[in-house]
A and B are shown apart, each in its own frame.
Chain A
Amino acid sequence: MAKGEPVIVDETREEFDVLVVGSGVSGGWAAKEFCEKGFRTLVIERGRLVRHRQDYPMEGVPPWKQEFGGKVPLDVAARDHAVQSQCYAFRASTRGYFGNDRELPYATAEGTTFSWIRANQLGGKSLLWARQSYRLSDHDFEANARDGEGIDWPIRYADLAPWYDHVERFAGISGSREGLPQLPDGEFQPPFEMNRPEQAVKQAVESAFPDRKVIIGRTANLTKPTELQVQLGRVVCQARSECENGCSFGANFSTQSATLPAAARTGNLHIAPNSVVHSLIHDPASNRVRGVRVIDNETLATREYFGRVVFLCASTLGSTQVLLNSASKRFPNGLGNGSGVLGRYLMDHNYNSVSRGDIPGFEDEYYKGRRPTGVYVPNFQYEPSRYRAHYKRGYALGGSAQRGGWQWGGYRDGFGAEFKAGLGRPGPWNWVFYAQGEMLPKRENRVDLHPTLTDKWGIPQLNIDIRWGENELLMMEDAAEASEAMMRAAGIENLRSDVTQKPPGLAIHEVGTARMGRDPKTSVFNGNNQAHEVPNLFCTDGSVFCSTATQNPSLTFMALTARAADFAAREMANRRL
């Protein structure tokens, strides 16, 4: 086999050092870390192979080369993507990376809705993500303990800080250093520029509200690639806004652009595509998982893969589904579920407040390029003394200033040459703020396996039962008011807010359902992401989260994965695993 290429595996009796289930953000990191440490690693991925560069068919295709100008026909969306089409990033050019809802059914408890966004292929949702990358702080890790919601995280910022450094250096995060207690700085590449109206809003908001900051969004797009990144074939971001179509420049972080090439060049990387993990094989005598049972994605044939250690990285709900479906005599309620909390404390971020307005002036100002990030207001209610009286915790705000253009031109009055010329001129500047609110961990927000419904692989469907609580609703009302107050202070006019009740799921930051903790009676995994009850089983995706915090979670999945891989490698070296 040539170095630099992964080995594609179908049937094999080999016992690998490590099995990694899933190849998204978390699984890609597990593969890279283990391969680089010299372990023979098999990544088991339910979906098809997506090869970097070759398999990005819609990259750079201009709208006039797309039948509907880039839109998706309604009948296709309704038939195949009833849920996925609710995602803001769903369009003709990205459709191929989203799941087909007809093939991926799930149930929801009566009176509840959850929009489960899936990207089941090599790379998972790393091909679609918006790359916003923020560290959690000790205020986040301590929140549960301080205000009595959920259980205490078993780790603190100091445990993760070196691993945040590690993953940021490799992934390439652009951002500005701010010295904020609630949003630790990282190993940043140069920040993207703010435009002039954004700079003006920043100044106005920060002087009117001393507890608030308007900073440039931290994003996994290269602005000054390192030597290693260049070696891996990654180059500086061209501001094309092709990220979600597939970026041949490798300028954004994805499994394809970053972690897989690094893993592949060790010669240790094996990939089993089209391999739907049905359940884990647990040996009660040794109390170890020995491998996984797989059903072929296409042929429905069954096979097994074996390894000394298993890393579950199948995404929050994907991993929990595998654990629930791995029940046995020893573990009647799901593998490693002696605590009974497996499936419980499902959370998502709440994006149900959007505020907009018009920015007067700056007529002669413009920008060049499509910046892959916006501006960001870090949570300013990050500790109990800063909470509002009527609800707990807080929210971050994302936003940006842009010049309107032809996109709304059809709603302008007028005809003829003058109307046409108007379309060719940029319109006034406008502002948007959208909230990213915390959701409290609640026992009743949960998933279990549906007693009768299965999917085409014969796997019981997840039955999801989650709703926003009073705290979340009050927070969104307040976020809209606070957004408007900041916009007013910045001289933004014609303010309008929408506080909606879109169901959980659409933030695509689902976390919880197999949380980590110190006590095996109240948690599934320990502070090293190791199952309390099955020592060679690890899970490093969002299912282990104890709270949502306000930050986009994927950078923390990366750091947790790298840290857990380091722990597991040492345990293997010491023959404890």
Chain B
Amino acid sequence: MQRRSGTPLPGADSALPDPRRRQLLQALALALGAPAAARLTAGSASLAAALSWADSPAGAEAPAEVFSETQLEILRVICAHVIPATDTPGAAELGVHRFVDHQLAHVEDAEARDQACHVLDALDGQARERRDTGFAQLAYDDQRALLEDLEAERNGFGPGEKWPFKKLKDLVVFGYCTTETGATKLLAFDPVPGGFRGSIPLESVGRAWFS
């Protein structure tokens, strides 16, 4: 791998508002030399577009396509339990429940949709049985206890609930990790690595790569 050192693109800092865009251009300039990088981004419609990325919320305020309002609310609560807000925003705040609904409507099959509805209903049913209230209205710890029972296939939950739940959880994880926040803050996102290195200390990245 050759890495030529180069100067950052002329005017990069003033002309480019988004710091990541600047970062990317600098990475390109470092790898290729500034003139080559400039030529490349000028000639390529998509690279230019990619450089102008901005935050785009995963969940627009579109109406649910698969879930009822109750089911969507349960899923929102699940999102908050699976990936809560910490030093980075959580899945519920980023609208991942709506992304999952949209994904189920278009990218998954009818069986996956039925199973997803089934497991949300099962959680609600258990909540009513135990506390006489809907899952979303339970106290936080009671919600968590139910979810843990579900994953452990106990207290009214079996494999018929566990595996549909895992699928749903998988969609939540996918939805979160493919948001800009998930991909760039929880994970390490490196659009132009500049070459491949087969061995680096994990601690030098400190996180998992997005890919």
> In whole angstroms, what is the CA distance A62 to B54 when docked?
10
Residue in contact with A367 in the complex, picked from B32, B175, B196, CB distance below 8 Å: B196
> In whole angstroms, what is the CA distance A63 to B147 when docked?
29
Contact partners of B86 in chain A: CB under 8 A: 417, 420-421
Q: Are A241 and B44 in contact (CB under 8 A)?
A: no
Report B34-61 CB contacts with A as 1/0, cut-off 8 Å: 0010001001111101110100101000
A451 within 8 Å of B (CB atoms): no
Q: Are B47 and A60 in contact (CB under 8 A)?
A: yes
In the complex, besides A53-B43, A369-B193, 11 extra interface pairs with C-beta distance below 8 angstroms are: A54-B44, A63-B178, A72-B107, A192-B198, A365-B200, A366-B199, A367-B198, A368-B190, A411-B170, A423-B173, A423-B186
Closest Cβ of chain A: how far from B25's Cβ, in Å?
12
Residues of A within 8 A of B (CB): 53-65, 67-75, 190, 192-196, 198, 223-224, 235-241, 246, 248-249, 363-372, 403, 405-406, 408-411, 413-417, 419-421, 423-427
Q: Are A405 and B209 in contact (CB under 8 A)?
A: yes
Residues of B within 8 A of A (CB): 1-2, 31-32, 36, 40, 43-47, 49-51, 53, 56, 58, 81-84, 86, 90, 99, 102-103, 106-109, 144, 147-148, 151-152, 166-167, 169-180, 183, 186-187, 189-205, 207-209, 211
Known: A367-B198, A406-B177. Contact between A248 and B46, CB under 8 A?
A: yes
Contact partners of B174 in chain A: CB under 8 A: 69, 410
Known: A410-B173, A423-B186, A424-B207. Contact between A370 and B193, CB under 8 A?
A: yes
Q: Are A196 and B147 in contact (CB under 8 A)?
A: no
Closest Cβ of chain B: how far from A248's Cβ, in Å?
4
Q: Are B46 and A410 in contact (CB under 8 A)?
A: no
Kindly report which residue of chain B lies nearest to residue A245, judged by CB atoms. Answer: B46
Known: A69-B103, A415-B147. Contact between A59 and B179, CB under 8 A?
A: no
Residue in contact with B208 in the complex, picked from A54, A192, A424, CB distance below 8 Å: A424
Residue in contact with B107 in the complex, picked from A55, A71, A363, CB distance below 8 Å: A71
Known: A248-B47, A415-B147, A419-B82. Contact between A64 and B58, CB under 8 A?
A: yes
Q: Are B202 and A426 in contact (CB under 8 A)?
A: yes
The 6 closest A-B pairs by CB, nearest first: A410-B170, A193-B198, A60-B50, A369-B193, A369-B196, A248-B44
Closest Cβ of chain A: how far from B136's Cβ, in Å?
16
Q: Are A196 and B50 in contact (CB under 8 A)?
A: no
A-B contact pairs, 30 of them (CB 8 A): A54-B45, A60-B191, A62-B53, A63-B183, A64-B56, A64-B58, A64-B183, A70-B178, A73-B107, A74-B108, A193-B196, A195-B199, A235-B31, A235-B40, A236-B2, A240-B193, A365-B200, A366-B201, A367-B196, A369-B193, A371-B196, A372-B196, A410-B167, A410-B174, A415-B147, A415-B148, A423-B173, A423-B176, A423-B208, A424-B187
> In whole angstroms, what is the CA distance A419 to B176 when docked?
13
Residue in contact with A365 in the complex, picked from B46, B90, B199, B207, CB distance below 8 Å: B199
Q: Are B202 and A420 in contact (CB under 8 A)?
A: no
Q: Are A366 and B200 in contact (CB under 8 A)?
A: yes
> In whole angstroms, what is the CA distance A27 to B44 when docked?
25
Q: Are A406 and B187 in contact (CB under 8 A)?
A: yes
Q: Are B192 and A240 in contact (CB under 8 A)?
A: yes
Known: A410-B174, A423-B208, A424-B207. Contact between A62 and B50, CB under 8 A?
A: yes
Q: Are B151 and A368 in contact (CB under 8 A)?
A: no
> In whole angstroms, what is the CA distance A371 to B209 when docked?
13
Q: Are B195 and A237 in contact (CB under 8 A)?
A: yes
Contact partners of A194 in chain B: CB under 8 A: 198
